[in-house]
Amino acid sequence: MDSNNVTGDSGGVLQAHSVHAGTISFGGAARGPGFGSAEAPWARLAGQVHGRDGIVADLVAEVRSAQPSVIVLHAGGGYGKTTVALSVCRAVRDAFSVRWVDASTSSSLLEGLREVALAAGAEPRRVREAWDGRASAPAVLWAALSTASPSWLLVLDNTDDLSVLTGPDGLIDGRGWLRTPPPGCTLLITTRDGRPEPWPESAARHRLHQLPEPDGAAMLKGLCPTAGDDLAAGSLSRCLGNLPLALWLAGRYLRNARTIPLVPGLDVPRTFGEYEAAWRDRSVELTDQVDRSAGPRAQLSSAWEISLELLADQGHEYARPILRLLSFFSPAPIPHDVLDAQVLAAEPVFHGLTARTMATTLARLRGAGLLGSVGGGKLPTCVALHPVIRDVTRAQPDVASHHSGYGLSVARLLTRHAEHLVHAELTDNEAYASLFLLHARQSLLEQVDHSPASCAVTAALLDAIACIVENGEQGSGNAEVLRKGARRIRTLVAGSGGK
Ligand SMILES: Nc1ncnc2c1ncn2[C@@H]1O[C@H](COP(=O)(O)OP(=O)(O)OP(=O)(O)O)[C@@H](O)[C@H]1O
Ligand SMILES: [Mg+2]
């Protein structure tokens, strides 16, 4: 067999161009050629970047001033962090030596940082020793980085799992991978982890938000100029929560759809309006056929599942079912005090859930950019779910099969809360009461649509809500819609023999 066996200290810096045949093995373990790179993935910036001039200018100014020198850019999956980081690199690449490492897995991080060390002038023999485990690799890397010239910008992209970077003394300035850069140099970290705690106070944290609607519309028009006018593009952008990943997938879908021959009977959306209508019906299928080759981060159905997996790996076992549960509330903000762990713990999927785990799980979901938080003034503190994350979560296969289960859990939570509300006379707070009624109305109507047989819960919910409506002087349209829902349920229940 044609095989190369390379052992000892020669392995770590072999690159693809120096390997022509056979299996390279280090210390007995088989390895292929190295593909580590410290080059920025410029090809991903091929199209126009919309609506990010402000944040890019701010970050460029911070890089140029080098004060502070650790920048953390965070947001949930698909908000465009990688795109913004690349735009910053493009803007400064004439004056700075730009290095880029994919930190999404520990192997891509290790390979990338090895290339950074070499590019920064570390001695190849020292790098080999360190990456073979015979010396401290972070020490070799930072010795080279602290004397490298010209000033550098090092991007650690997709650093969602901070544990891959953490050393024995914590995340930064210990014996791990991250140190404070020398003056004039910058570390730019993109991550889905929005918690402030892991970072030193001197780090500049920036949260990336969804695009302004006109920029979302411009992005759609740029991807598929013939699919409709500005108004239709704006409406679709709004429907997709102005989320760049969803917009990008929609634009690509429409561009591809226009190349499909229009044979009779084919029902493929070709315009912004048709896409919006189809999205409201089916959500996730509309995007996932387009770009499987681009990997899971580029698919809506898995973009957030990756974050949920990471949270589960970190011991937050309820993160997935709680997000799924939240997606069964109405799209309005969900008051914290509706989320009673005791009520949920009766369900097998939430077995063992306590108030403490509910609170920490919500905090971690927020940290991962999967939930937002609103409240203040007359509004109670609430969690808010991005509309696209909500739609896509509800369309996950396991959710579809457990549909009535989550719906019932929401109904039970609302019932319990309604009882509290009646007793506490919280209904004086109109903002609170109408928020609650909104959720209750949706839950009722969904129960009717999906499980008319579960009349015990819906009837209890109805009773509780009727009390609120009577006690709380909610003379608005809400009350009438509720009563209509109630009549529909009673008719259904009567029709099914009261089962
Ligand atoms: N401002 C923008 N203008 C045009 N396209 C954009 C913009 N922001 C993001 N995109 C496109 O949306 C998609 C998702 O963006 P990107 O990969 O930058 O998101 P991300 O926040 O890094 O996601 P992840 O958390 O999965 O790493 C990409 O295809 C990107 O090209
Ligand atoms: Mg990214």
DSSP 61-91: HHHHHTSS-EEEEE-STTSSHHHHHHHHHHH
Q: Probe ligand 1: pick from 53, 161, 248, 386, max atoms within 8 Å of CB? A: 248
Instruction: Spell out the residues 6+ positions from residue 137 whose beta carbon is closer than 8 angstroms to its own.
Output: 110, 113, 114, 117, 130, 131
Atom of ligand 1 nearest to the CA of 211: 1
Q: What is the pLDDT of residue 491?
A: 62
Q: What is the pLDDT of residue 402?
A: 67
Asked if residue 434 and residue 291 are part of one domain, the reply reads no
Asked if residue 129 and residue 260 are part of one domain, the reply reads no
Q: Is 14 domain-assigned?
A: no
Asked if residue 313 and residue 460 are part of one domain, the reply reads yes
Atom of ligand 1 nearest to the CA of 76: 25
Residue 100 has pLDDT above 90, yes or no: yes
Q: Is 4 domain-assigned?
A: no
Residue with token string 């819906």: 458
Residue 431 has pLDDT above 60, yes or no: yes
Residue 451 has pLDDT above 50, yes or no: yes
Q: Quick one: residue 352, left, alpha or beta (phi over 0 = left, psi -120 to 50 = alpha)?
A: left
Residue 137 has pLDDT above 70, yes or no: yes
Asked if residue 98 and residue 242 are part of one domain, the reply reads no
Q: Any idea which ligand is nearest the CA of 307?
A: 1
**Choice between 369 and 376, residue whose per-residue pLDDT is larger:** 369
Instruction: Spell out the residues 6+ positions from residue 263 whose beta carbon is closer than 8 angstroms to its own.
Output: none
pLDDT above 90 covers a percentage of the chain that reads 38
Asked if residue 349 and residue 288 are part of one domain, the reply reads no
Atom of ligand 1 nearest to the CA of 160: 25
Q: Is 22 domain-assigned?
A: no
Residue nearest atom 28 in ligand 1 by C-alpha distance: 245
Asked if residue 266 and residue 188 are part of one domain, the reply reads no
Instruction: Spell out the residues 6+ positions from residue 386 whose beta carbon is closer than 8 angstroms to its own.
Output: 76, 210, 241, 243, 372
Q: Probe ligand 1: pick from 44, 48, 83, max atoms within 8 Å of CB? A: 83
Q: Is 423 domain-assigned?
A: yes
Structure tokens at 21: 């045949």
Instruction: Using the 3D structure, point to which of 261, 296, 331 is the last residue of a domain.
Output: 296
Q: Is 313 domain-assigned?
A: yes
Distance, in Å, from the CA atom of 159 to the CA atom of 387, rounded to the nearest integer, reads: 25
Please name the amino acid found at residue 169. Answer: D
Residue nearest atom 8 in ligand 1 by C-alpha distance: 80
Asked if residue 365 and residue 221 are part of one domain, the reply reads no
pLDDT digits (tens, 9 = 90+) for 200-241: 888 999 999 999 999 999 999 999 999 999 999 999 999 888
Q: Is 188 domain-assigned?
A: yes
Q: How confident is the model at residue 353 (pLDDT cuts 50, 70, 90)?
A: very high
Q: What is the pLDDT of residue 32?
A: 58
- Ligand 2 centroid – CA 304 distance (Å): 12
Residue 279 has pLDDT above 90, yes or no: no
Residue nearest atom 25 in ligand 1 by C-alpha distance: 77
Residue 447 has pLDDT above 80, yes or no: no
Atom of ligand 1 nearest to the CA of 51: 1
Instruction: Using the 3D structure, point to which of 265, 296, 327 is the last residue of a domain.
Output: 296
Q: What is the pLDDT of residue 26?
A: 31
- Ligand 1 centroid – CA 78 distance (Å): 5
Instruction: Using the 3D structure, point to which of 176, 207, 238 is the last residue of a domain.
Output: 207
Q: What is the mean pLDDT of residues 465-481?
A: 57
Q: At CA 432, angle to CA 430 and CA 433, rounded to 5?
A: 65
Atom of ligand 1 nearest to the CA of 303: 26
Residue nearest atom 19 in ligand 1 by C-alpha distance: 80
Asked if residue 235 and residue 170 are part of one domain, the reply reads no
Domains in the chain: how many in total? 3
**Which domain CATH number covers 166?**
3.40.50.300
For residues 101 and 137, is the Cβ–Cβ distance under 8 A? Answer: no
Q: Any idea which ligand is nearest the CA of 54?
A: 1
pLDDT digits (tens, 9 = 90+) for 22-73: 322 333 334 556 667 888 999 888 889 999 999 999 999 999 986 768 999 9
Asked if residue 352 and residue 229 are part of one domain, the reply reads no
Q: How confident is the model at residue 452 (pLDDT cuts 50, 70, 90)?
A: low
Helix (H) or strand (E) holding 492: helix 477-495
Atom of ligand 1 nearest to the CA of 45: 31
Asked if residue 363 and residue 285 are part of one domain, the reply reads no
Q: What is the pLDDT of residue 370?
A: 87
Q: Any idea which ligand is nearest the CA of 306?
A: 1
Q: What is the mean pLDDT of residues 318-331?
A: 92
Residue 189 lies in domain: 42-207
Q: Is 2 domain-assigned?
A: no
Question: What rounded mean pLDDT belongs to the chain?
Answer: 80
- Ligand 1 pocket (Cβ < 6 Å) reads 47, 49-52, 75, 77-83, 158, 192, 219, 244-245, 248, 297, 303
Asked if residue 148 and residue 232 are part of one domain, the reply reads no
Asked if residue 220 and residue 200 are part of one domain, the reply reads no
Q: Any idea which ligand is nearest the CA of 44?
A: 1
Q: How confident is the model at residue 361 (pLDDT cuts 50, 70, 90)?
A: very high
Q: Is 85 domain-assigned?
A: yes
Distance, in Å, from the CA atom of 143 to the CA atom of 122, rounded to the nearest integer, reads: 8
Instruction: Classify the C-alpha dihedral 329-333-337-341 as positive or negative.
Output: positive
**Choice between 467 and 259, residue whose per-residue pLDDT is larger:** 259
- Ligand 1 centroid – CA 330 distance (Å): 27
